[in-house]
C-alpha cells in the first residue's frame, strides 16, 4: 500500500479555529498540503484561523466552513462541499469537542449529559460517516480523531467525559478495521493537559479541576504538551510515513501518564 503525497491532498479539520486543530492546519500547510478546510462555529475566529494558515503557506487554498458538527445534515453538506471544491478529500482531523469542566458524577446535572455526548462524540461520528465515501473515491486517506487521556486514565470528575473519550478510541479502532480494505487509516490522539488551548484555560479557571490537574503538572517531567506537539504527531499519522499505522490511540503528554 502506498499513500498519496501531501502535495496532492485535500484536508478537512473540524474544530480547528484554535488550539490543536489550528496548529495542525498550520503544520499541514507547512508540510505541503495545498488545500485545507477549517471548520468551526465562530466566523470571526474562522477568518483569523484562515489568515494564520495562509501566513504559513501563502499559495495554499484555505477556506473556513461554518457548521455545527453535532448535527448530521450540516456536516454532510460541509463535507460534500469541501470535497467538491477540492476535487476530492484525503485527510480528516476531528478536533471539535465541548469544553466541559470536570465535575463529580453525583454533583452533575443529568440534563447536561446529552450535550456532553453530542459535543464530544457525535461530531466525530457525523464527520467520519460523511467523509468515508470521499476518502474511498480518493483511493484511501487518513483520519485522526482527538480524544483525551481520560479514555485511558480514570480521573475524578471525568466519569462522563471519560466514557465519551473511551468511546472515541474504540470507535476509531473499529473503524480502522473496517476501513483498511479501502486504504483508509484511522488513528486517535489522547492528550492530557495541553497548554495554550481553551480547554486548558477552562480547566485552570475552575477551582475543582485546577486542584485536580495541578497535581498532574509535576508528573510531566518532559514538559506539559503544547498544540504544536500534538500537531506534529497528527501530521505524522496522516503522512505517507505512517502508511502502515492504523487503529492506534497515542497519548503525547510529557509523561503525565504512561
pLDDT value of position 98:
75
In a domain, 255, yes or no: no
Give the rounded percent of residues in the chain with a pLDDT score beyond 70.
Answer: 100
In a domain, 126, yes or no: yes
In this predicted structure, the answer to whether residue 75 has a pLDDT above a threshold of 90 is: yes
pLDDT value of position 215:
81
Q: 23 vs 3, 66, 185, 230, 231, CA distance in Å?
A: 23, 18, 21, 8, 6
In a domain, 239, yes or no: yes
Span 137-155, average pLDDT? 96
pLDDT value of position 209:
85
In a domain, 70, yes or no: yes
pLDDT value of position 28:
98
Q: What confidence tens digit (pLDDT) does each residue in 228-255 have?
A: 999 999 999 999 999 999 999 999 999 9
Q: 205 vs 101, 174, 210, CA distance in Å?
A: 9, 36, 7
In a domain, 1, yes or no: no
Confidence class of residue 55 from pLDDT cuts 50, 70 and 90?
Answer: very high
In a domain, 69, yes or no: yes
Residue span of the structural domain in which 35 resides:
6-250
pLDDT value of position 212:
81
In this predicted structure, the answer to whether residue 211 has a pLDDT above a threshold of 90 is: no
Q: Give the position of cell 474511498.
A: 136
Q: 110 vs 6, 13, 34, 117, CA distance in Å?
A: 44, 31, 44, 12
Put residue 158 in one of left, alpha, beta given phi > 0 → left and psi -120 to 50 → alpha.
alpha
pLDDT value of position 187:
98
In this predicted structure, the answer to whether residue 91 has a pLDDT above a threshold of 90 is: yes
Give the rounded percent of residues in the chain with a pLDDT score beyond 90.
Answer: 87
In a domain, 37, yes or no: yes
Per the structure, how many domains does the chain have?
A: 1
In a domain, 159, yes or no: yes
Query: Which CATH number belongs to the domain containing residue 219 in this structure?
Result: 3.40.50.720
Amino acid at each position: 500500500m502506498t499513500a498519496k503525497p501531501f502535495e496532492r491532498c485535500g484536508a478537512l479539520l473540524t474544530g480547528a479555529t484554535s488550539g490543536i486543530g489550528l496548529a495542525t492546519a498550520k503544520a499541514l500547510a507547512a508540510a505541503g498540503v495545498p488545500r485545507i478546510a477549517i471548520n468551526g462555529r465562530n466566523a470571526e475566529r474562522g477568518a483569523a484561523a484562515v489568515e494564520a494558515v495562509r501566513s504559513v503557506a501563502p499559495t495554499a487554498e484555505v477556506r473556513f466552513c461554518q457548521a455545527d458538527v453535532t448535527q448530521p445534515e450540516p456536516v454532510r453538506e460541509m463535507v460534500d462541499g469541501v470535497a467538491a471544491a477540492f476535487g476530492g478529500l484525503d485527510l480528516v482531523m476531528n478536533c471539535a469537542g465541548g469544553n466541559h469542566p470536570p465535575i463529580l458524577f453525583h454533583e452533575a446535572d443529568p440534563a447536561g449529559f446529552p450535550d456532553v455526548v453530542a459535543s464530544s462524540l457525535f461530531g466525530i461520528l457525523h464527520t467520519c460517516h460523511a467523509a468515508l465515501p470521499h476518502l474511498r473515491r480518493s483511493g484511501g486517506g487518513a483520519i485522526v480523531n482527538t480524544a483525551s487521556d481520560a479514555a485511558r486514565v480514570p480521573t475524578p470528575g471525568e466519569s462522563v467525559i471519560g466514557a465519551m473519550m473511551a468511546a472515541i478510541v474504540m470507535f476509531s479502532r473499529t473503524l480502522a478495521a473496517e476501513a483498511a480494505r479501502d486504504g483508509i487509516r484511522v488513528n486517535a490522539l489522547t492528550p492530557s493537559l495541553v497548554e495554550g488551548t481553551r480547554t486548558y484555560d477552562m480547566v485552570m479557571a475552575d477551582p475543582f479541576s485546577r486542584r485536580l490537574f495541578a497535581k498532574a503538572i509535576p508528573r510531566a517531567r518532559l514538559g506539559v504538551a503544547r498544540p504544536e506537539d500534538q500537531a506534529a504527531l497528527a501530521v505524522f499519522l496522516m503522512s505517507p510515513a505512517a502508511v502502515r499505522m492504523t487503529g492506534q490511540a497515542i497519548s503525547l503528554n510529557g509523561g503525565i501518564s504512561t
